Amino acid sequence: MNDILYIVVPCYNEEEVLPETSKRLKAKMESLVGAGKISRDSRIMFVNDGSRDRTWELIAQLHAADHIFSGVNLTRNRGHQNALLAGLMTAKDLCDMAISMDADLQDDVDAVDAMVDKFHAGCDIVYGVRSSREKDTFFKRFTAEGFYRVMNFLGAETVFNHADYRLLSRRALEGLSEFREVNLFLRGIVPMIGYTTTTVEYERGERFAGESKYPLKKMLSFAMEGITSLSTKPIRYITMLGFLIFIIAIAMLVYSIVRWAMGHTILGWASVMCSVWAIGGLILLSLGVIGEYIGKIYLETKGRPRFLIEDVLDEK
C-alpha cells in the first residue's frame, strides 16, 4: 500500500511516558509497513503543547535518532483540543489518513490495525470506542457515562464512550479544516463532517505513568465547553422553565384571590421566602448560562488564532 499514515499525539508534560509511547508506536508502524498496509513514509507526530518539562527536548531527540518521528512545537500552551487540531492540520497535506490518540498509552495501539483496515474498506472516519468500563471505579464509570448522556441530551451530539482516538481520511481532514470556531470541541465537531463512518471497539488500559490531564473539575469544564459550543438547548430550556414558572405564578395568584374572596387569611412566610430564593437562584443561573454564550460570541468575533506553531520537525 502507498497510503501514508500519520499518528498525531498531543503532549503536555509527558516526559515520563514518551520513551515507552514512542517505542510502542514505532513497533506498531513497522508492523503495518511490514504487512504492506501503509507506506514507509508514514510518521508518528508528537505535538508539544507548551510543556514545562523536557517533552520537546525528548521529541527532538527522537526525531534526530529516527525520522519516523516528527514533531510540532506550539509557541505556548493552548489546550489539548487546539494541540490536537494543530497536529492534524499540519499532517493534512502530508498524509492519506491520520489517527489521533493520547500519549498516556491508555488507547490500545493494536486498534490501529482495525482502523487502517476500515479506511481501506472505504471509511473516512473511524471512531475508537471503549468496549467496557469494568476497570473503572463506580464513581469514574458513573461520571464518565453521565458525561456522554448529558452532552447528548443537551444537544452536543457525541459518540458514546469515544474520546479523541479516531482515524480521519484526508478528505475528512479537509472537511475539519472548514470549521473555523475558536471554541473547539472536536468530539462534537467531527460527527458533523459526515462521510462514511464506523467504529472500532477496544479495551482501554491504565495510564502508563504520570497524572491524568482530565480530573473531574476539568471534565465538568470540558462538558460545559462542548455544550455551549455546539448547542443552544440550554437557553431553550431556560425559556421553557421561565414559561413554567410564569404559569405556576398565575395559578398561585388565582388561588390567592379565591382564598381572599372566601375570607381566609393567607399564611405563607416560608413559601414566600422559598419562592424568592428559588426565583433569585434561577435568575442567576439563567444569567450565567447566557453569559457563557455571550463570552463565546466575544471570543469568536475576535478571530484570534487557535494556535501558533514555533517549529516543525518532519522529513521525508
Cα three-residue angle 202-176-145, rounded to 5 degrees: 40
- Name the nearest CA neighbour of 43 among 3, 1, 86: 3
Q: How far apart are CA 43 and CA 25, in angstroms?
A: 10
Residue 105 pLDDT level (bands cut at 50, 70, 90): confident
Residue 124 pLDDT level (bands cut at 50, 70, 90): very high
Average pLDDT, whole number, for the chain?
Answer: 80
Dihedral angle over CA of 153, 187, 52, 55, nearest 10 = 150
CB 47, CB 56: distance < 8 Å: no
CB 107, CB 101: distance < 8 Å: yes
Residue 108 pLDDT level (bands cut at 50, 70, 90): confident
**Does 3.40.50.720 match the CATH number of domain 5-230+304-313?**
no
User: Which ranges constitute the DSSP H helices of 180-232?
Assistant: 186-193, 216-230
Q: How far apart are CA 280 and CA 136, in angstroms?
A: 39
Domain definitions of the chain by residue range: 5-230+304-313
pLDDT tens-digit series, residues 259-276: 667 766 556 655 665 677
pLDDT tens-digit series, residues 173-227: 999 988 888 777 888 788 888 888 898 888 876 655 555 555 656 666 666 666 6
Q: What is the mean pLDDT of residues 235-260?
A: 71
pLDDT at 290: 78
Could you tell me what percentage of the chain is helix, strand and coil, using 3-state DSSP and rounding each to the nearest 5? 50, 15, 35
Dmax (CA) of the chain = 92
Q: What is the mean pLDDT of residues 225-247?
A: 71
Q: How far apart are CA 173 and CA 145, in angstroms?
A: 28
- Among the residue ranges 189-198, 227-236, 238-247, 307-316, the one predicted with the least confidence is 227-236
